[in-house]
Each structure stands twice: as structure tokens, then as C-alpha cells.
Structure 1
Amino acid sequence: MTNVVIIGGGPGGYEAALVAAQLGGSVTLIERRGLGGSAVLTDVVPSKTLIATAEVMSTMRGAYELGVRLGERSDLAHAFHVDLAAVNDRVLRLAAAQSVDIDQRLRAEGVRLIDGTGRLDGTEHVVAVTGEGEERLGADIILVATGTTPRELPQARPDGERILNWTQLYNLRELPQRLIVVGSGVTGAEFASAYNALGADVVLVSSRHQVLPGEDDEAARVVQHVFERSGMTIVSKSRAEAAEVVGDEVVVKLADGRSVTGSHVLMAVGSVPNTQGIGLAEAGVALNDRGYVTVDRVSRTTARGVYAAGDCTGVFALASVAAMQGRIAMWHSLGDAVGPLDLRTVCANVFTAPEIATVGVTQAEVDCGVVNALAVMLPLHTNARAKMRGISDGFVKVFCLPTTGIVIGGVVVAPIASELIESLSMAVRAKLTVDQLAQSFTVYPSLSGSIAEAARRLHTHSAGQGSQVF
């Protein structure tokens, strides 16, 4: 029997454990904070649960336009308020319940769980475990899935009360009077969007000219416009250097000499991999210049029999990618059929309001000539279902190859973009053409109808009768 030792119980670790057990391995998983890792306990599950409440508040703010009234009150949104203590209690309760479910599933599959910390002990395929006691585990296969930790600025260390990282937000019992969010990447933008919808006065400090600099530029422009229209203050091209608690306030100092004052500040300035002090270099595992584990497309590291998965690899900070990396590692190491990780088929979502979902090639790649593609973008305000629901912001964009018309990417900006992107994701994965996508039935009226419409508009251009990009 093959001995598999997994360090880290996040999506990369626990999904790998399930596959390894299914394939007959003797599996041990080491986790020190609880099954599910950051994705379940402090990141994806908690943040999206919070965002679910924010979405309800956003819906109520738009209810008046749809003709909804409450008694003598003209504005439904003002009839309600957010009890942040109740919201965060629910967030943490759901996260804990999800962790318990994963724990029970792993035990049911015969996986041995150890509450502790694992460290590679030299090049002899031994993992030293420190927990309630100490143990040395011999392993045929080792998977490192240790995740990341929120990055900290030297002069803005989180104190858990006024200066917070995203793992500490759920300790708040009252809505911040004025929340300063430092960082306009995915994490910063999502929390800024959520707290703005919950009713907090939000200031978003961005070092770039526009929020979400890593996303489709047109999509990010829509989100920024919605943020500003909703009353959020965006301080662009400004880099935060320090944060200091002064009485009941926090003062954030900017590099240009200005300062921003609020009741709380969320530091969303990226993350660092948990790869130090666990014996990786000594075991022959190479790290890149940022400290991430170097892996190939089947999750192998530079050390024989040692694999890595998840955020600690720096490949793509998504729970779905971490889980796939973990599965691929076990399929490959245990001799099952496996294909290498294909990032061109990964679909991702930013849970702002509206959401941004993407798959495949990007507009930036097309614009700089890396990819030769045609594109059509349809604004959602022309969609019948969008009109019925009062949706005025957003669009659908589809990319295809010239001549063949094969779909190679797409962008959806909409309230439920995370659900709408699936058809484009399937098209990219299966290498469908725009004609095949266009000829599939969609419900009328529906937001997904705009995807089929975009594909129809690409028909003549992808057939070689033109190369116009809309």
C-alpha cells in the first residue's frame, strides 16, 4: 500500500486526500487550524456568506424602482438595518459546519487526520509532525498544501480591533462607521462592495488608476462606476504606507503625504506563502523569488515524490484550482489517468456587485497581440430580463478564433455572473464554435440569452467574412 502524507487541509489537501483514498492509498492528512483551511474558515466561505447578506440589502435598495412599497414608507431599504453581530455569528457558524462536514467525509473514507504541524525532514521522505505529541511519518508520496497568510505592512500591523486583515473582520460586532479598505484587488474590492451594501461608509484606497487592475479593463470600469455611483469614495493612484490608531479612529497615511481617517481599516494588500520553516529547501523543493513552491502542470515539485497544490504554489489563487491541483497530484502519483492542469479552462469570479466572471483568454492578451481573436460585447441593459429586474450595469463578452470560430474566452459582468459563466466555460473546455453556442436553446427572457446573442453576432466574422471587433 502506498503511504501518502498531506500537509495542509485546505481544498488542495482535502481533495487530494479523497482521491488518494479512493485509489487505495494509506492517507494521512496534517492540519493545525481545522479542515477546510483558509478557504472554509477565514476566506471563501465566510466572505461569500457575508456577501450573500450584502446582496439582500442591495436588492432591497432597488425594490422601489420595481414598485415595491412597505406601508407608508416609500423606501424599503430604510425599513431594515444590518445586525453585524448576527451576520458574523452566522458566517462563523456556517464556516465551522462546513469544516465539520469535510472532517466527517475524510474520516468516512479512511483518511487519518492529525491535528498538528508537518515538516519535511530531509530528503528521506519523512514528515515530522508536531502537535499534541511528536511523530515521524514515512511517506511514498508527500503533498504540500500549506496555503498563504495575509501580507502585512511594517507600519500597519493588524491589531484585530481597528486595524484588520480579512481574517479578523468577522470579529466585528457593529458596522464600522467608516471603513477604509487598503487594496483594490479582488479581496479589497469584494469587501468594499459588501460593506458598502451593508450600509457602512467605505473609502477604497487603490494604488492603481482603477479598481481590480488584474481584471478585464472594461469590466473593472463598470464596477468602479457602480461603486462611485453608490456613494463609495475611491482614492486612486494612492499607496498606503502606514496605519495608526488615534483614540477611536484610524489614520491611514499615504505615500503622497495625505491621510485618510476612519473608524476601522481593512488591510487587503496581498498574501505571502506559508513555505518557510517546513523543510522544503532541505528536501530539495525549489521556491521562486517570492517564496512560492515551483510546480509543473501535474503538481510535481523539484523533489522526487513531493507534490504541491494550492495557493502556496502561486499558480492561481482559487479554491477550484487548488482542489484540481491536489487531485491531479494524486492521479499522477498513484498511476491513474490524468491530464495536466490547463489554466485556459479555469473560470474565475469576483464577487463584487455586479460580479465579474471570466474564462479563457483576456482582452489584454488580444490587445497586445499575444492572441489573435475576434470579440463581441453586448451591454446587459438591452437584455429583456435585465430590464425586468432593473439591471442597468454589466455586459457579456465572447472571444473566438478567426475563421474557425472556436470559443476561447469570455467575460460576464452581471449580478449572477458566477452562474452565467458556466456555458462559456463549457464551450472553452469542449472547443465549441460560436455557431454551436449560438444554436443552443436559451430561455426567453433570460440573462443567458445575451451569451447566445453574442455568439450569433460573431457568426459571419468568424466565418472569414470580416474581422471587426465590437
Structure 2
Amino acid sequence: MKEFDLVIVGSGPAGFSAAVRGVDFGMEVCLIEGGHLGGAGIMNGALTSKTMYELSLDYSIAARIDRGYRASGLTVDYKQVLNTIMQAAKEKQYQMRSEIETFIRNKQSKGYIELVKGMAEFEDSHTFLVKTSEGEQRIKGRHILIATGSKPREYTGLDIDGTRIINSNHIFSLKEFPKRMLIIGSGIIGCEFATIFSNFKQTEVHLLDRANRVLPYEDDDVSDYVSDNLTHNGVTVHHTAHLRTINKLPDCLEVIMDYDDGHSKVLEVDVAFIAIGRESNLSMLKPEKAGLEATNRGTLTINSSCQVLINGKPGHIYAAGDVSGHAQLYSVAELQGRKAVEKMVDKAGDPLDYSHMSTLMFFKPEVAAVGANEKMLQEKGIPYKVSFYSNKFINRAIAMRSTTGFIKILVSKDENQRILGMRASGPQASAYIVSVAHLINQGDSLREVLKIFYPHPSVAEGIQECLRTLGNRSIYKPEAFPKDIHIREWEPPKQK
């Protein structure tokens, strides 16, 4: 039996960042991975899907004919697209391998990482049985970090065959662009892949939206904006539709959908893509053998230092990433992995603050979010003011000929007017959202932020003008452009 200071199961963003942080503190680390190095974050998730998104965006820009130039003979080959995506994934995997090989056992550094490829399960709270290609081995750790990530959620009653009925794990199994595709699920994953395939203009894309609103957790104006852009990009969005069944015919899939108003529709497609979220991979570890009890969502309950609570008490077992039950974001997993190791060596510092996480949604155009939205504040009964400012008035966006987009900022409805949240869409939204995250974390007021000089011409000037609108100081006024610039406020209804 091999013994280590730290045993990590899963080499995704949580596991890998934790392993490297362990080396920082001179720990002997064992990193166990049963699939691809980097986990879904590299091979079947964030990196590959965003590479495909960028390629689709490049193609859609090259295909434009409204900018004074035209690309002739423009074609796209699905196999070459997949090759480029795989190159990106391999590039990142080799970076990770190079790091691991730099800190292998027997080198001069005090800490090291030993990579073990195999499927692990608990034997007890300190020991794993790992099944590798060379046989079984037992690995013991003084500290344990569970970072097993998640997998696509299955759709009850549908047989996912990986060829005609697929999920995000099966994108690479497609031999060519489907002529017709139905995407089931209108959350971020579903809307992103609807954007990707509609950008390439090779596929007739249908999106099933049973909630009558894509991104149902976002404010209605943001949801409507995304839905309208998808439609403009060629996606047929089926609102208030519920999947009754999919019949597999020799040359197509026959889809039957029922709508809330009582009518039904039969649709022929070549591929059905299941995109209804992801679920934890925890069960394969047999956590009960370590005394761990999963929640009804299949995740683990952790404290602010990512320690798993057993009978309400923290111990030597930690969890990070999707298995922790927090937002399924690469950045969250990475920070949790680091925080867990820092707690192991009593250098945890401040607890993680999940209230102001930045989120990027890769649509056309991209959407970025940070902090609260209106639905969140209304649920909590927090009064607010909100300003909406269109990219039509931002000089940089005009110069880029890319004025579809907006900036929407919420502030507290009091004399401090603290920034509570922002939603933004358009060019570079993913770049400047973090600046607003800093403002929220610092508790900055509208007055303090407006002291800043913004460079010109920059897309970020929209932040300045959106905030000026709240103070009735904007250059372009809501009275002149009521559809593109507006302010509203909300407070809880008064008790009778």
C-alpha cells in the first residue's frame, strides 16, 4: 500500500489545482484519474466546447456580407473542426503532463505529484482501491480530496446511443454536421450548442424550451434577448414544448412534442442532443464506505473551507468542484481545490464568497453576468434601482459594427447606491465583467465608481454611461431613446 499526504480523485480544474497547490506546501500528492487528464473541463466540457464556439464564431464572421467584403468559396469540414478542437485539448493536457512530470517523485523538490490512472473507490475513510490497467492497488491518504466532477444528466425514457441521441460527451462521435438537430434543454449548455451549430449554418437547429423562457433563472429581459438572438441566428425555439417521445426510424428520428396550449407537433431530425444539465459523479466512489452521505442531488455538503461534513462535523475529507453542490463553474472548482489544500496546512485565509461569481455564456453575442439579478433581489425583498444601456451608443461597439448588446447594472435603492449586480452582452463582455465583480466585492458606491476615467474608445465605457444614467448624468438620455436606455426601480410591497 502506498501512503501520501494527500490523495485526490479527479484531475479536473479542482483536482489539478489542488495537486499543484499541495506541491507548493511540500506535500506528497497522489492524483488519481480514471478517464482523460483534465477531466470534463478539458475534454468534454469548457475547453472543447469553447474552442468549438470560437471556431463557429470565426466562421459566422467570415460568412458576413454586410461589411464591405465577401469571402468566396467558404466551406467548413466537420472532421477538420474536430481536429482543431482536439489540438486545443491536447495542448492543455500536455501542459498539465509537463507540470506533473516536473514534480514527480525522486526529484529534488520536497513535494511531488504521482499520477495514477485508474478507477477508484473507497475501502475506508483513508484508503482507496484503484483498478488500473496493470491490476489493483491500494492508496492511502492522510488527507482526501474528492474532485470527481459531473456527467451529463440522463433524460428518463430516452436511450442515449451516442450516435443519433447524444449528449455533450458524444460531440466527437458525429461524423459530419447533422442536417437537422433537436436540442432538448434551454439552459446555458443547450443555448450554447444551439449558438454553435447555428453559427456554422450547416444544420437546421431546433431548441426545445419547456419553460416558455430560455435561461429561466435569469431576468425576463435577458432571457428574451437571448431567445431573440437565437431566432435571428436561425434557431427555431419551441417554447412551452414538452417532449413526448422520440421514435427511431431508419433514416431519421421522429420527435413528438406537446405544447402547453394543447396542440402537438411531429418533427423529423437526424440528431437529438440532450442538454438538461449535469449530475455528480460521486456514487462511483462508494462514499458510504468512508462514512459519507450524499445529498438528494448526489453531492456532498461542505463548509467554507471545503471540508465534507460528517454528522455535522468537518474532518480530513474535502470536496471541490461539481461534487460540492456549488455552482458548476470551472473557476469555482479551481478555487475550491486550492482552498481545500490551504486548509489542510492551516493557511486557509478568508472563506470563499460565492455571492459574486462571474459567469460567461457563450452565445451570439456573448453574455456575462456577475452578482444579483432582479429575480434574486425580489426573492430576498431587497429594494433596488436598475439601469439598462444599449451598446448602440458606445463608440467602440459602433466602430466594430457590433452594436447588438447591452449593459444592465443594479444598485441598492438607498443613499449609498452600492453596486449589486450586472448583466452585459456584446463584444468583450467577458473581459470587463471582472472589473464590476471587483466593484461589488469592495462594496463601492455609484459615486466612487464614477470618479474613474474610462479609456476611449472602449466597450467598457458603457459601464460608465450605464451608471451615469442612474444618476441622471448620462450623455444620451432615456427620454430621447426610451427603447434603448431606461431606468426602473423596485421595492417590496408595503404590508397592509
TM-score between both structures, scaled by the size of structure 2: 0.87
| Structure 1 vs Structure 2 CA RMSD | 2.0
Query: What is the Cα deviation at residue 245 of structure 1?
Result: 2.4
Deviation digits for residues 135-154 of structure 1 (CA, Å, limit 9, x no counterpart)? 22221110001111112224
Change (3 A) 1:2 1:165: closer
Q: Secondary structure at the match of 2:273?
A: strand
Structure-to-structure mapping, 1:155-234, within 5 angstroms: 155-199=157-201, 200-234=203-237
Conserved in 2, the CA contact under 8 Å of 1:222 and 1:393?
A: no
Instruction: Give the alignment partner of residue 289 of structure 1, picking from 281, 291, 296.
Output: 296
Corresponding residue for residue 358 of structure 2 = 347
Deviation digits for residues 367-391 of structure 1 (CA, Å, limit 9, x no counterpart)? 3453333221111122222222222
CA–CA distance in structure 2, aligned partners of residues 79 and 429 of structure 1: 50
Deviation digits for residues 166-221 of structure 1 (CA, Å, limit 9, x no counterpart)? 11112323211111111111111000011001012111111111212123322221
CA–CA distance in structure 2, aligned partners of residues 425 and 444 of structure 1: 21
Corresponding residue for residue 107 of structure 2 = none
Corresponding residue for residue 141 of structure 2 = 139
Deviation digits for residues 234-261 of structure 1 (CA, Å, limit 9, x no counterpart)? 1111122433321221122334553321
Conserved in 1, the CA contact under 8 Å of 2:4 and 2:30?
A: no
Query: What is the Cα deviation at residue 357 of structure 1?
Result: 0.7
Query: What is the Cα deviation at residue 99 of structure 1?
Result: 1.4
Query: What is the Cα deviation at residue 119 of structure 1?
Result: 1.6
Query: What is the Cα deviation at residue 61 of structure 1?
Result: 4.1
CA–CA distance in structure 2, aligned partners of residues 433 and 47 of structure 1: 37
Q: Secondary structure at the match of 2:388?
A: strand
Structure-to-structure mapping, 1:123-134, within 5 angstroms: 123=125, 125-131=126-132, 132-134=134-136
CA–CA distance in structure 2, aligned partners of residues 42 and 234 of structure 1: 25
CA–CA distance in structure 2, aligned partners of residues 30 and 121 of structure 1: 15
Instruction: Give the alignment partner of residue 81 of structure 1, picking from 53, 57, 75.
Output: 75
Conserved in 2, the CA contact under 8 Å of 1:41 and 1:99?
A: no
- Structure 2 stretches lacking a partner, 5+ long: 104-111, 474-486, 491-496
Corresponding residue for residue 443 of structure 2 = 431
Corresponding residue for residue 434 of structure 2 = 422
CA–CA distance in structure 2, aligned partners of residues 106 and 431 of structure 1: 40
Corresponding residue for residue 91 of structure 2 = 97
Bigger mean CA offset, 3-12 vs 144-153:
144-153
Structure 2 counterpart of 1:315, one-letter code: H
Corresponding residue for residue 477 of structure 2 = none
Q: Secondary structure at the match of 1:277?
A: helix
Structure 2 counterpart of 1:273, one-letter code: S
Corresponding residue for residue 278 of structure 1 = 285
Bigger mean CA offset, 255-264 vs 50-59:
255-264
Conserved in 2, the CA contact under 8 Å of 1:9 and 1:31?
A: yes
Conserved in 2, the CA contact under 8 Å of 1:66 and 1:389?
A: no
CA–CA distance in structure 1, aligned partners of residues 234 and 179 of structure 2: 14
Instruction: Give the alignment partner of residue 272 of structure 2, picking from 252, 257, 265.
Output: 265
Corresponding residue for residue 73 of structure 1 = none
CA–CA distance in structure 2, aligned partners of residues 164 and 460 of structure 1: 51
Change (3 A) 1:214 1:28: same
- Structure 1 stretches lacking a partner, 5+ long: 71-75, 462-466
Structure that is richer in strand per residue: 2
Change (3 A) 1:281 1:371: farther
Q: Secondary structure at the match of 1:139?
A: strand
Q: Secondary structure at the match of 2:289?
A: coil
TM-score between both structures, scaled by the size of structure 1: 0.92
Deviation digits for residues 145-166 of structure 1 (CA, Å, limit 9, x no counterpart)? 1111112224322222211111
Identity of aligned pairs, percent? Answer: 26
Structure 1 counterpart of 2:431, one-letter code: E
Structure 1 residue 362 corresponds to structure 2 residue 364: no
Q: Secondary structure at the match of 1:276?
A: helix
Instruction: Give the alignment partner of residue 123 of structure 2, picking from 121, 131, 134.
Output: 121
Query: What is the Cα deviation at residue 18 of structure 1?
Result: 0.9
Q: Secondary structure at the match of 1:65?
A: coil
**Count of aligned positions:** 456
Query: What is the Cα deviation at residue 106 of structure 1?
Result: 2.5
Instruction: Give the alignment partner of residue 455 of structure 1, picking from 457, 467, 473.
Output: 467
Structure 1 residue 372 corresponds to structure 2 residue 391: no
Corresponding residue for residue 494 of structure 2 = none
CA–CA distance in structure 1, aligned partners of residues 152 and 233 of structure 2: 28
CA–CA distance in structure 2, aligned partners of residues 150 and 178 of structure 1: 22
Conserved in 1, the CA contact under 8 Å of 2:218 and 2:375?
A: no
Structure 1 residue 253 corresponds to structure 2 residue 260: no
Structure 2 counterpart of 1:80, one-letter code: L
Corresponding residue for residue 324 of structure 1 = 335
Query: What is the Cα deviation at residue 114 of structure 1?
Result: 0.2
Corresponding residue for residue 41 of structure 2 = 39
Conserved in 2, the CA contact under 8 Å of 1:344 and 1:360?
A: yes
Instruction: Give the alignment partner of residue 319 of structure 2, picking from 281, 291, 308.
Output: 308
Change (3 A) 1:79 1:437: farther
